[in-house]
Amino acid sequence: MVNAAILGFGVVGSGVAEVLTGQGDGVRKKADELIALKYILDVRQFPDSPFASCFVQDFSVIEQDPEVGVVIETIGGVGAALDFTERALKAGKSVVTSNKELVATHGPRLLQLAAEHGAVYLFEASVGGGIPILRPLSDCMAANEILEICGILNGTANYIFTRMVQDGIPFDQALKGAQANGYAEQDPTADVEGQDTCRKLCILSSIAFGWHLRPDQVPTRGITRITLADEAYAAACDRRIKLLGRAIAQPDGKVCAYVEPHFVSLQDPLAGVEDVFNAITVKGNATGDVMFYGRGAGKLPTASAVVADVIAAARQLERASYRPWAPNRPECIASLDELDSQWYVRLAKGELEGERLTIPQAQPGESGWLTPAMTRPQLEAKLAGREVLAVIRVLD
Ligand code: HSE
């Protein structure tokens, strides 16, 4: 029997408590023979919670309790979460987390710290919510050279697009729905400006390519300026708008990684991914495309992934760990400016070379275009001096 402590009793932390103890609706009691929930750390009081007797407010109680074998960090961010993770690992306790910001930024050091202290640092829930992706990528695809990762990695953004298209509601109203469902981050800026997707892409890339790709090295664009008109132009050319994280291995060994909204053809399975679902296509040199699909956010899907890691940590400490990530390789990062793509452009007036798109609700003078393939600098040169309302890359 391994004793566990949860840090943070928010959406994910409370879901983990329910799944661990079998108290949630529809949750099978699977972990309770192996794991006992001993502590929950939170600055708030929860006197009416079924877990009221577990609450503590001082992390040193957990740190100094030799009975605690696994610490579950669901605080988020890189402040207290980093401090407590380091202290837990130094005390020889394994740490399981859903905290993508912490893993993407400090992953290599924390993996190293875990190895030095006979513990493991596991973070399956940090990417794709309930989708098993990190362990399959790390273990089951280990024989492959990874050629490309391309994924819908943020449930909030995908939920917003789905509500805009299916219900015809504007961006802000759709975001409120994502917040009400517990999908969005406390500050949803990270969801809608692409940083959350960027962090998840960095974790996937670091596992796939074996060296640490940092979030500040990944050009990132969000979705806040996308309108119902852009969705209508996408529909007019049999496409959907999706926020994608992509990491493409180049023939010279460099990696081109970026996050942007894209026009995605209806023939691509990514176009059919709706609501809070995420999907990640991984192209291996031996496997070809492998696709992972499931609920990318939400209390119980995320808690499911966390608890699976807790069970793995409790069962087989050494075999559960990820391979260490080599240090960052700035010389291996390819410039996004060299990537050729077609582009969707919406102009307030005038014409452009390419296929003209028409929608019934277009404003007077406005037009939508699909350009021939070119790099972004080439496109920007063509658009200089024009009144441009929107530019979105087309996924090839
Ligand atoms: N805010 C995140 C999302 C939660 O919407 O995908 C899961 O990481």
Q: Please, what is the average pLDDT of the chain? A: 95
151 touches ligand 1 (CB under 6 Å): no
Ligand 1 centre from 191 Cα, in Å? 7
Closest atom, ligand 1, to C-alpha of 184: 1
154 touches ligand 1 (CB under 6 Å): yes
284 touches ligand 1 (CB under 6 Å): no
The answer to whether the CB of 206 falls within 8 A of the CB of 170 is no
Widest Cα–Cα separation across the chain: 71
Closest CA to 241 of 260, 220, 263: 263
Average confidence (pLDDT) over 106-135: 97
301 touches ligand 1 (CB under 6 Å): no
3-state secondary structure 283-331: EECCCEEEEEEEECCCHHHHHHHHHHHHHHHHHCCCCCCCCCCECCCHH
Residues in the chain: 396
3-state secondary structure of 341: strand
CA 8 to mean position of chain CA atoms: 20
pLDDT of 249 strictly over 50:
yes
197 touches ligand 1 (CB under 6 Å): no
Rounded Cα gap, residues 137 and 205, in angstroms:
10
Residue-level pLDDT at 26: 46
Average confidence (pLDDT) over 352-368: 95
184 touches ligand 1 (CB under 6 Å): yes
Ligand 1 centre from 126 Cα, in Å? 9
Determine which residue's CA is closest to atom 8 belonging to ligand 1: 297
Ligand 1 centre from 160 Cα, in Å? 12
- pLDDT, one tens digit per residue, over 325-346 is 999 999 999 999 999 999 999 9
Residue-level pLDDT at 104: 98
Closest atom, ligand 1, to C-alpha of 159: 5
Closest atom, ligand 1, to C-alpha of 190: 1
Mutate to test the pocket of ligand 1, among 102, 186, 193, 196 (most ligand atoms within 8 A of CB): 196
183 touches ligand 1 (CB under 6 Å): yes
Closest CA to 275 of 165, 191, 189: 165
Angle at 108 between CA 311 and CA 76, to 5 degrees: 60
Average confidence (pLDDT) over 182-197: 95
Closest atom, ligand 1, to C-alpha of 157: 5
Residue-level pLDDT at 323: 87
pTM comes to 0.96
Reported as a pLDDT band with limits 50, 70 and 90, residue 24 is low
Reported as a pLDDT band with limits 50, 70 and 90, residue 31 is low
- pLDDT, one tens digit per residue, over 62-117 is 999 999 999 999 999 999 999 999 999 999 999 999 999 999 999 999 999 999 99
Residue-level pLDDT at 320: 77
pLDDT of 299 strictly over 50:
yes
Higher pLDDT, 320 or 366: 366
Percentage of residues in the chain having pLDDT higher than 70: 97
Ligand 1 centre from 248 Cα, in Å? 23
pLDDT of 27 strictly over 70:
no
Mutate to test the pocket of ligand 1, among 100, 101, 133, 183 (most ligand atoms within 8 A of CB): 183
185 touches ligand 1 (CB under 6 Å): yes
Average confidence (pLDDT) over 243-247: 98
155 touches ligand 1 (CB under 6 Å): yes
Mutate to test the pocket of ligand 1, among 124, 153, 191, 200 (most ligand atoms within 8 A of CB): 191
Reported as a pLDDT band with limits 50, 70 and 90, residue 230 is very high
**Residue 252 is encoded by which pair of tokens?**
């010279």
pLDDT of 29 strictly over 80:
no
Rounded Cα gap, residues 208 and 146, in angstroms:
6
